[in-house]
Amino acid sequence: MSLSKLRNIGIAAHIDAGKTTVTERILFFTGVNRKTGEVHDGESTMDFMKQEQERGITIASAAITCHWKGSQINLIDTPGHVDFTVEVERSLRVIDGLISVFCAVGGVEPQTETVWNQADRYKVPRIAFVNKMDRTGADFYEVIQQMNKYLDAKAIAFQLPIGAEDNFTGIIDVIEQKAYTFIDFERKEISIPEDYKTTAEEARIHVVEKLADYNEEIMNLYFSEVFVPSELLKNAARDAVIKLLFTPVFCGAAYKNKGIQLLLDAVVDYLPSPIDTGAVIGMDINDPEKSRSRNPSRKEPFAALAFKLIHDPFVGQQTFVRIYSGVLTSGMQLLNSTKGKHERTGRILKIHAKDREEIHEAGPGDIVALIGLKFTKTGDTLCDSAHPLFLESIHVPPSVIELKINPAKRKEQEKMIDSLRKLTNEDPSFNMRYDNETEETVISGMGELHLEIIIDRLKREFGCDVEVGQPAVAFRETISHESDFDYKHAKQSGGKGQFARTVLRIEPNTGKGYEFIDKIKGGVIPSEFIGSVNKGIQKTINEGIIAGFPIVDVKVTLLDGSYHPVDSSDMAFQTCASICFKNAFMKAGPILLEPIMKIEVNTPDEYIGDIVGNLNRRRGKIEAMRRFRKGAQKLNGFVPLMEMFSYATHLRNISSGRANYSMEFYQYEAVPRSLQEDELKKINEKKK
Ligand SMILES: Nc1nc2c(ncn2[C@@H]2O[C@H](COP(=O)(O)OP(=O)(O)OP(=O)(O)O)[C@@H](O)[C@H]2O)c(=O)[nH]1
Ligand SMILES: [Mg+2]
């Protein structure tokens, strides 16, 4: 198959918009499945995890391959719930095109905006599908307006719905000026209904006008008032989609089997192949200023990105990679340039939801799972060791909720840690740490649901029963100003003593993480111990100082020091640096950082006063309020996560269950000075 016939695409949207249902119907209409499995019956092919089936939601992204009109489509279905946003992130990183799904009633919802921004970040061309046209309140034109207003999507209708809600009976193809209706599982061409003729013609003129902006040939025809052929319009539209200039909008009702075949046509017609996407641009491994590119060709050196790890009880660890260039064969030696280590690929598998097929070779554009990799993690580059490069990694949001976890049976401690480690390998937004003071394991993730799923998986997949504490906020620690400290660590206890001295300067490094600078001159600390100093500091950084939370955003400069030819050692320098750093930290105005969340509340008008009042009491900041439906408003703002536990119940009580909300991480901010003292006391008391 020619690469121009390949479509690597994803499907993303707000929770419940119908992504999985659209995917299921795609499987059905392309002949992969003989029957349609419903998400709410726990019978979809894509949502095959037990936890997904029980809850009727998608948790992990799943991939499937199908064929349509001579093209091969590799499709990744992603979850909509904010807690699993890293699944969207990694999928967007490796796909060439996206179907952005909208609910015809809900329009642009909070997660739609998030996903849209993520797709912008990875520059993924997209088309829009307005689903659920059969639902009460469905309004195709309103959704397009919202896309333009809130997403700046430059959205244009490429289809028009015939009727809406219960009367949604068909779809008009604007470019071809054809109409279709859907009977059972068939689409049938009909003539455009009389009362839609003018609207349909106007819609086509609108498309022509828009495309004239990007295409000279169309512009000339338009000005000479000559009919613009459909083929020309489609080619120009394809070009504009690939250049991210605009978004064609399609519609349907997946659940009612309406509009899916036309959506598949649109995927083939408008979304890019790896050839259209062109060369992937990476970085030279020695010089980040120099770019290195790879064309999607079998003749180029091998380059691929690992984007997902799954622990499979039958085949062991599966590492999913997207290949950009070159050829991969089983047994081949590769360089993991991110880790600086060599890897040998074992078997190569093609994955279809939960089934797998072994293949012996894979090339540009392929998405495959590799067995047998040892060091590779999500976001790592795999490449030809003779032609190394770094590819852009994957953005991972911080984990903001944590809880303590203990094995139900004491002797299962090791098994629990081992299982948790496997889960952290799979999911970069899930972390674990050991609290030295309380001698307990603490796990952290994106939200309460995220951790609930992890605990459920621990039980079912790993047979590991655990006891957990209450979810709490994952704070961070940092400093507010610069400070220096000079510390000498000297111990003489019988035989060989310990000696090390370090002088450290620490400064705030907002948003830039941890940085270590070595300014030692004249070998006053031998080079072999510089690494020990860094290691000692990093250990302390992970453990925290004022409340046991990881320290972020500090720049540490090693200014001076001294050593002893006999008594100095790696250990002595680690201990010295750690104590020196702790002292400098305490002098530098230590502060506690708390996660601030972006919140959106949808509510009928009558509750708005109570909701705003309540959010204010939770230290919330309201940014905007807008009407999104008659008698209902959307409220946007920011709130500290710490104040938001039990908010769901509260909101239900205030609004008699009629308001709903969604929340996602925004950024870390300092806990207000007036609260820090109290908070620290609470945290440290809990540990006792
Ligand atoms: N009326 C109507 N319901 C639909 C339509 N498409 C999907 N649904 C229903 O909406 C619910 C959610 O659908 P899903 O396909 O699971 O939505 P999703 O976007 O995959 O949800 P997450 O993966 O959890 O974010 C299910 O009960 C579907 O049957 C549609 O076109 N019309
Ligand atoms: Mg889903």
CA of 248 to the centre of ligand 2 (A): 23
What's the chain's average pLDDT?
92
Span from the CA of 223 to the centroid of ligand 2 (angstroms): 45
How many whole angstroms separate alpha carbon 158 and alpha carbon 96?
Answer: 21
The ligand minimizing its distance to the Cα of 14 is 1
50: CA distance to ligand 1 center in Å? 18
How far, in Å, from the CA of 19 to the mean position of ligand 1? 7
Q: How far is the CA of 344 from the centre of ligand 2 (A)?
A: 34
**For a pocket test of ligand 1, which of 11, 22, 39 has the largest count of ligand atoms closer than 8 A to its C-beta?**
39
Can you tell me the mean pLDDT for 523-548?
A: 94
Cβ distance 411 to 456 under 8 Å?
no
Tokens of 373: 């990799």
The pair of three-digit structure tokens given for residue 628, joined into one six-digit string: 């999104």
**Residue among 103, 130, 168 nearest 247 (CA):** 130
Per-residue pLDDT tens for 586-616? 999 999 999 999 999 989 999 999 999 999 9
The CA-atom distances, in angstroms, between 389 and each of 195, 431, 505, 683 are: 59, 28, 34, 44
CA 80 to centroid of ligand 2, rounded, Å: 7
> Ligand 1: which residue has its CA nearest to atom 24?
57
Residue 230 CA to residue 234 CA, distance in Å, equals 6
Q: List Cβ neighbours of 469 (8 Å cut-off, separation of 6 or more).
A: 403, 404, 405
Element containing residue 199 per DSSP (H, E): helix 197-212
**Cβ atoms 416, 468 nearer than 8 A:** no
Distance 534 CA to ligand 2 centre (A): 44
Q: Which helix (H) or strand (E) holds 498?
A: strand 498-508
Q: Between 581 and 185, name the one with better pLDDT.
A: 581
> What is the residue type of 424?
T
In 605-684, which ranges are E strands? 621-629, 632-640, 660-670
Comparison of pLDDT for 454 and 395, the residue scoring more: 454
Residue that has been written with the tokens 């997902």 in this structure: 308
What residues are in contact with ligand 1 under a 6 Å CB criterion?
A: 13, 15-21, 38-40, 57-58, 79-81, 131-132, 134-135, 253-256
In sequence order, which residues have a C-beta less than 8 Å from that of residue 49 and are 6 or more positions away? 59, 60
Residues 6+ apart with CB under 8 A from 493: none
* For the CA of 252, the nearest atom of ligand 1: 31
Nearest bound ligand to the CA of residue 57: 1
**Residue 475 confidence (pLDDT):** 94
Q: What is the pLDDT of residues 273-302, one digit of tens each?
A: 999 999 999 999 988 889 999 999 999 999
Residue in this structure with the two tokens 């590119």, named with its chain if needed = 293
Report which ligand 1 atom has the smallest distance to the Cα of 256.
31
Indicate the pLDDT class of residue 561, thresholds 50, 70 and 90: very high
For residue 669, pLDDT over 70 is answered with: yes
Residue 247 predicted with pLDDT over 70: yes
**pLDDT for position 288:** 82
Q: Which atom of ligand 1 is nearest to the CA of 78?
A: 23
Q: What is the pLDDT of residues 150-209, one digit of tens each?
A: 999 999 999 999 999 999 999 999 999 999 999 888 899 999 999 999 999 999 999 999
Output the CA torsion 102→105→110→114 (10° steps): 10
Ligand nearest, relative to CA of residue 263: 1
Ligand nearest to the CA of 55: 1
Pairing of strands 590-604, 476-479: antiparallel
From the CA of 16, how far away is ligand 1's center (Å)? 5
pLDDT in tens, 404-449: 999 998 889 999 999 999 999 889 999 998 877 778 899 999 998 9
Cβ proximity of 6 and 365 under 8 Å: yes
Of all ligands present, the nearest one to the C-alpha of 42 is 1
Rounded distance between C-alpha atoms, residue 163 and residue 150, angstroms: 25
Q: Which pair of structure tokens corresponds to residue 195?
A: 């009362």
For 493-518, what is each residue's pLDDT tens digit? 767 789 999 999 999 999 889 999 99
Q: What is the pTM of this model?
A: 0.88
pLDDT of residue 311: 81
Average pLDDT rounded to a whole number, residues 103-116? 90
Token pair 């991969």: residue: 328
Name the pLDDT band for 353 (thresholds 50, 70, 90): low
Q: Take atom 32 of ligand 1 and give the residue whose Cα is closest.
A: 132
**Closest protein CA for atom 14 of ligand 1:** 18
Please report where in the chains the tokens 């912008």 appear, as a residue. Answer: 120
Quote the CA–CA distance of 561 and 520 in Å, as a whole number: 8
Please give the structure tokens belonging to residue 272.
């890019």
Q: Backbone phi, then psi, for 625, in 5-degree steps? A: -135, 135
Burial of 592 (0-12, 13-18, 19+ CB in 10 A): buried
In angstroms, the first-to-last Cα distance of the chain is 65
Å from CA of 41 to ligand 1 middle = 11
What pLDDT digit, counting tens, does each position of 312-343 carry?
777 788 899 999 999 999 999 999 999 999 99
Instruction: Give the phi and the psi of residue 468 in degrees, each rounded to 5.
Output: -125, 155
Q: Which residue has the higher pLDDT, 383 or 662?
A: 383
Q: Which pLDDT score is estimated for 688?
A: 65
Q: What is the mean pLDDT of residues 28-33?
A: 88
Report phi then psi at 560, rounded to 5: -160, 175
Ligand number nearest to the C-alpha of 99: 1
Distance, in Å, from the CA atom of 187 to the CA atom of 177, rounded to the nearest integer, reads 16
- The position carrying tokens 């709410």 is 40
Pocket test for ligand 1, best of 14, 15, 19, 21 (most atoms within 8 A of CB): 21
Residue 251 — very low, low, confident or very high, per pLDDT cuts 50/70/90?
very high
Q: Which atom of ligand 1 is nearest to the CA of 39?
A: 16
- The 8-class DSSP code of residue 286 comes to S
Nearest CA to ligand 1 atom 4: 255
With a pLDDT cut of 70, the percent of the chain lying above it is 99
Q: Is the pLDDT of residue 467 over 70?
A: yes
Measured from the Cα of 56, ligand 1's closest atom is: 16
CA 292 remoteness from chain centre: 25
What six digits make up the tokens of 508? 């705030």
CA 92 distance to own-chain centroid: 8
With a cut of 70, say whether residue 44 has pLDDT above it: yes
The count of C-alpha atoms lying within 13 angstroms of the C-alpha of 507, restricted to the half-sphere facing its C-beta, is 10
Q: How far is the CA of 132 from the centre of ligand 1 (A)?
A: 8
Choose among 505, 500, 557: nearest CA to 524.
Answer: 500
Contact between 304 and 382 under an 8 Å Cβ cutoff? The reply is yes
Closest ligand 1 atom, CA of 254? Answer: 31
